[in-house]
């Protein structure tokens, strides 16, 4: 009986040792599986991010700027104009031909003494809302800004020797990028808000340019020095 009990204890001890011996294998296998899943997940996230960032950037059709008092906007730009090497120098108000939009325009000097708009605000009563799609100029590349009688605003840009014309217009009270025309000398393109573009002949390029600019009549704004605002 005693020998049988000892044999039973030895058998149980052998079974326990066998279980312990197999445990590290399972733990190693399981821990090996988890990093593999994490690696796949990380790769997928990276690929997704690369795909997302490589997609064309479209312009938003909404405006997220907060309303500000016109006096506060002008005071802010007036203070900027007094800084050393400040670009902004002038301001002007303008009502579009159809009377639907009133604007406050802040500008500096562009190429050949022409005005280059820094920012555009829609105004109503004493409130101004900055139009976010109209980006501040990149000095040295943006040459001038033209406001046409039909309400279209054009930025003329030197793009590495090519000439780019960006056209903006108001839609439902929001200034939006309509399209751009790129003149590379021997090649011509129409560029759209979703970053796609179509190739044009020279005749098509000239026709589309004329359609944007209407009869070509330019609006001359009554510019006032920002430095003298409030005096």
Kindly state the percentage of the chain with pLDDT values over 70: 72
For residue 149, tell me if it sits in a domain. Answer: yes
Question: Is residue 24 assigned to a domain?
Answer: no
Question: What's the CA gap between 80 and 95, in Å, rounded?
Answer: 25
Sign, CA torsion 44/45/48/49: negative
Model confidence at 231: pLDDT above 90: no
More confident residue, 64 or 174: 174
Look up the domain containing 165 and give its range.
68-228
Q: In this structure, is residue 135 part of a structural domain?
A: yes
DSSP classification of residue 139 = B
Residue in 133, 100, 104 with CA at minimum distance from that of residue 120: 104
Give domain status of residue 18, yes or no.
Answer: no
Distance CA 204, CA 209 (A): 8
Confirm whether 158 is domain-assigned: yes
Average pLDDT in the 48-58 region?
28
Share of the chain above pLDDT 90, in %: 55
What was the pLDDT predicted at 52?
26
Banded pLDDT at 219 (limits 50, 70, 90):
very high
Q: Which of 167, 168, 165 is nearest to 184 (CA)?
A: 165
Specify if 58 maps to a domain. no
User: How many domains, in total, are found in the chain?
Assistant: 1
Query: Mean pLDDT throughout 13-19?
Result: 48
Averaged pLDDT, 205-224: 94
Burial letters for 19-32: b for 16+ Cβ neighbours within 10 Å, e otherwise? eeeeeeeeeeeeee
Q: Is the dihedral of CA 194, 197, 198, 201 positive or negative?
A: positive
On whether residue 7 sits in a domain, the answer given is: no
On whether residue 194 sits in a domain, the answer given is yes
């Amino acid at each position: 009986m005693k020998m049988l009990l000892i044999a039973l204890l030895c058998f149980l001890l052998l079974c326990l040792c066998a279980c312990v011996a197999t445990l590290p294998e399972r733990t190693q296998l399981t821990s090996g599986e988890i990093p593999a899943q994490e690696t796949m997940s990380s790769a997928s996230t990276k690929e997704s991010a690369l795909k997302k960032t490589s997609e064309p950037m479209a312009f938003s059709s909404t405006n997220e700027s907060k309303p500000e008092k016109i006096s506060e906007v002008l005071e802010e730009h007036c203070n900027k104009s007094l800084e050393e090497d400040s670009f902004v120098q002038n301001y002007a108000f303008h009502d579009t031909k159809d009377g639907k939009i009133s604007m406050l325009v802040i500008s500096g000097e562009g190429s050949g003494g022409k005005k280059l708009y820094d920012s555009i605000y829609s105004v109503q009563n004493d409130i101004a809302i900055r139009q976010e799609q109209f980006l501040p100029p990149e000095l040295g590349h943006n040459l001038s800004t033209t406001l046409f009688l039909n309400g279209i605003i054009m930025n003329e840009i030197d793009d590495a020797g090519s000439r780019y014309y960006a056209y903006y217009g108001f839609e439902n009270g929001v200034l939006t990028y309509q399209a751009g025309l790129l003149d590379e000398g021997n090649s011509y393109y129409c560029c759209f808000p979703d970053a796609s573009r179509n190739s044009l002949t020279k005749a098509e390029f000239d026709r589309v340019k004329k359609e944007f600019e209407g009869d070509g009549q330019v609006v001359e704004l009554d510019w006032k020095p920002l430095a003298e605002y409030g005096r």
